[in-house]
């Protein structure tokens, strides 16, 4: 589905989506045409999902990041479905994963400050249907945070 050259292109684009096609070609020793074709093909196939702008949290006023472990009262299909649907609507929730282990969901939440977190917690999160328990872990330092999925060996 993706060969070695595709992976090289993906590695570059994941770091910087603004690289020009010629620049990419220069780095992997290829002319514009095949680079262009490969990118278009991977966009059509959905391997390349989209191009986004990343912002600096610190410059936006040192936002508060919180991880929440959520346990539902019932581990049924409908219960999960309800929660999934509700959580997708909350802009403060940047990530939500259903996990194996001692709780059901792990959420990554971003808010402006503790006051906003309290409001989010009380008024938007804990009121969701089927929740039994929530544990919050506050991020003190962001050591690493990349969008780069390793594609090369």
Binding mask 26-65 for a second copy (x = CB under 8 A): -------------------xxxxxxxxxxxxx-xxx-x-x
Residues numbered 30 to 89 that lie near DNA (CB under 7 A) are 30-34, 36-40
Q: Tell me how far apart the alpha carbons of residues 112 and 61 are, in angstroms, rounded to a whole number.
A: 7
Binding mask 65-104 for a second copy (x = CB under 8 A): x-x----------------x--xx--xxxxxxxxxxx---
Longest dimension (CA), the chain: 58
Binding mask 111-150 for a second copy (x = CB under 8 A): ------------------------x-xxxxxxxxxxxxxx
DSSP-derived 3-state class of residue 46: coil
CA atoms within 13 A on the CB side of 14: 15
End-to-end distance of the chain based on CA atoms, in angstroms? 16
Chain residues in the site for DNA (CB under 7 A): 5, 20-22, 25, 29-34, 36-40
């Amino acid at each position: 589905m993706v060969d070695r050259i595709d992976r090289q292109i993906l590695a570059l684009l994941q770091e910087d989506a603004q690289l020009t096609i010629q620049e990419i070609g220069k780095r992997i020793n290829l002319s514009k045409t095949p680079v262009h074709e490969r990118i278009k093909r991977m966009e059509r196939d959905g391997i390349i999902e989209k191009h986004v702008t990343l912002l600096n949290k610190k410059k936006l006023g040192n936002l508060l990041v919180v991880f929440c472990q959520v346990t539902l009262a019932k581990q049924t299909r409908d219960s999960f479905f309800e929660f999934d649907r509700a959580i997708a609507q909350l802009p403060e929730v940047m990530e939500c994963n259903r996990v194996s282990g001692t709780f059901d969901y792990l959420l990554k939440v971003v808010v402006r400050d503790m006051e906003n977190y309290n409001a989010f917690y009380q008024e938007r999160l804990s009121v969701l249907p089927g929740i039994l328990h929530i544990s919050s872990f506050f991020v003190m330092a962001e050591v690493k945070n990349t969008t780069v999925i390793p594609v090369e060996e």
